[in-house]
Structure 1
Amino acid sequence: MTTDPTLKYREQHKQRLSYMPWLYWTLKPKQRAWAHAWQQEWQAYLQDMETVVITGDCFISPDAKLFAERGRPITIDSGSFIGADAVLHGPINIGKNVGINHHVTMDGGSQGITIGNNCRIAAYCHFYAFNHGTAPERTIDKQPVNSKGITLEDDIWLGAHVGIVDGVKIHSGAVVGMQSVVTRDVAKNTVVAGNPARFIKNRT
């Protein structure tokens, strides 16, 4: 029994798109037809099974994990993509033309994660919009959990392996260098890097 080479190629191309999802918008019409149908079917499943709302033309890898129970929705606006092995737990609000690459982890806690338009989040970034107490009179498993939320405004670039802690707001136009841990707000149009992330320069 021989395998149809067209179907074999298509399965490989699905893997390529899952890890390099920006390529979805560069597909030629013939490939775009099957890829669009594949995405429509997958996105319909997500919206049926979870509290996920997808607007417009988006790409979501079937290897990404989206968990959005009632009261913890995930909304995704047009032109955005989510790569393979990303894990997103709502509440999360994703704007237009946002790139979330493979192996990104986001947990919205109770107050949520908000990402503005035209942001790029590189592979292996981590967002945790909650924190545990550390009072010595309680064991770690009995500590209270609190949440302030995380906000990214528009036009932000996070390098690979960036960590964002609860309560942080990153203002428009900021860039965060690879391997940084952001523990405080980042000013507009600045570049920060390090652990904890510190001011490097102004983009302007």
Structure 2
Amino acid sequence: MSSIKNIVFRLIASRYPNAHKTSRISTKITVKNRKNLILGKCTNIDSGAYIMNGRARFIMKHHSGAAIGLLVVTGNHMSIPGKFFKDVTDSDKSRLDTAGEYDKDIIVEEDVWIGSHVTLLKGSHIGRGAIIGSGAVVRTTIPPYAIVVGNPAKIVGFKFNPNEIIEHEAKLYPEDERIPKATIELNYEKYFLSRIKEINKYIKP
């Protein structure tokens, strides 16, 4: 049975030119631009996803996955005098958006788990190993191994402490791809230890 499932998943992945053959993509998702969906090894996107990636890319790197109901929005509507917003085309945006402000790539690094019904907005960058809680709305950069919840998404903790992150990375990544120890410790202090009171207040029932 598992071999049949693997064949089915490979057939589905083959519909997306930039999806790795080991990625698992539900048939019940909507993707505006299949060429702008880039999926690494052993990634998955569950049912109900809506990926609005017309002029920018949605990139999910190796061993990351998203639960049901993912919403990805890589761009904003453009307002043009004399046109209803629904009549503004991608060609209009390409012609007028010279600064690239309306559409930006969304990047999900390795080993990221995205909970159900999460929204990722243009320019979001989710760091390696992060956990995005169900219903979160992400619009900024999330540091590696952070746990975020809410709208807007806020950091409420880290998956591992610094020593555990260092040990984890040593087992999984070549030395030149590991996150520097100084960066790991700085993130843990800046986003967690120095904000414990604020975090406790935020998550208190």
What TM-score results when the alignment is normalised by the length of structure 2? 0.63
- Retained in 2: the 8 A contact 1:162–1:177? yes
Question: Which residue of the partner structure matches residue 60 of structure 2?
Answer: 115
Aligned AA (1:76): A
Aligned AA (2:50): T
Question: Which residue of the partner structure matches residue 129 of structure 2?
Answer: 173
Question: Which residue of the partner structure matches residue 110 of structure 2?
Answer: 154
> Does residue 1:86 correspond to 2:42, yes or no?
no
Q: How far off its partner does 1:78 sit? A: 3.4
* In 2, Cα distance between equivalents of 1:106 and 1:178: 17
Q: How far off its partner does 1:183 sit? A: 1.4
Deviation string 1:173-199 (CA, Å, 9 cap, x unpaired) is 111100111111111110011011111
Question: Which residue of the partner structure matches residue 86 of structure 2?
Answer: 141
Q: Which stretches in structure 1 are left out of the alignment for 5+ residues?
A: 1-23, 54-74
Question: Which residue of the partner structure matches residue 70 of structure 1?
Answer: none
Q: How far off its partner does 1:130 sit? A: 1.2
Greater fraction strand: 1
Decide whether aligned partners of structure 1 residues 102 and 130 sit closer, same or farther in structure 2, where only a CA change above 3 A counts: same
Q: Percent identity?
A: 20
Q: Which secondary structure state, in structure 2, belongs to the residue aligned with residue 131 of structure 1?
A: coil
Decide whether aligned partners of structure 1 residues 156 and 135 sit closer, same or farther in structure 2, where only a CA change above 3 A counts: same
Question: Which residue of the partner structure matches residue 77 of structure 1?
Answer: 20
Q: Which stretches in structure 2 are left out of the alignment for 5+ residues?
A: 94-101, 161-205
Aligned-residue CA RMSD in angstroms?
A: 2.5
* In 1, Cα distance between equivalents of 2:112 and 2:9: 26
Decide whether aligned partners of structure 1 residues 39 and 201 sit closer, same or farther in structure 2, where only a CA change above 3 A counts: closer
Deviation string 1:24-54 (CA, Å, 9 cap, x unpaired) is 7xx2xxxx3x5566666x45xx85xx6x33x
What pairs up with 1:3-82 in 2 under 5 angstroms?
Answer: 27=2, 32=3, 42-43=11-12, 52-53=16-17, 75-82=18-25
Greater fraction helix: 2
Decide whether aligned partners of structure 1 residues 96 and 139 sit closer, same or farther in structure 2, where only a CA change above 3 A counts: same
* In 1, Cα distance between equivalents of 2:147 and 2:22: 25
Out of 140, 143, 155, the residue aligned to residue 184 of structure 1 is 140
* In 1, Cα distance between equivalents of 2:155 and 2:7: 45
- Retained in 1: the 8 A contact 2:22–2:43? yes
What TM-score results when the alignment is normalised by the length of structure 1? 0.63
Out of 103, 111, 115, the residue aligned to residue 48 of structure 2 is 103
- Retained in 2: the 8 A contact 1:109–1:149? no
Aligned AA (2:120): I
Q: Which secondary structure state, in structure 2, belongs to the residue aligned with residue 141 of structure 1?
A: helix
Q: Which secondary structure state, in structure 2, belongs to the residue aligned with residue 84 of structure 1?
A: coil
Of 93-102 and 76-85, more deviation after overlay is shown by 76-85
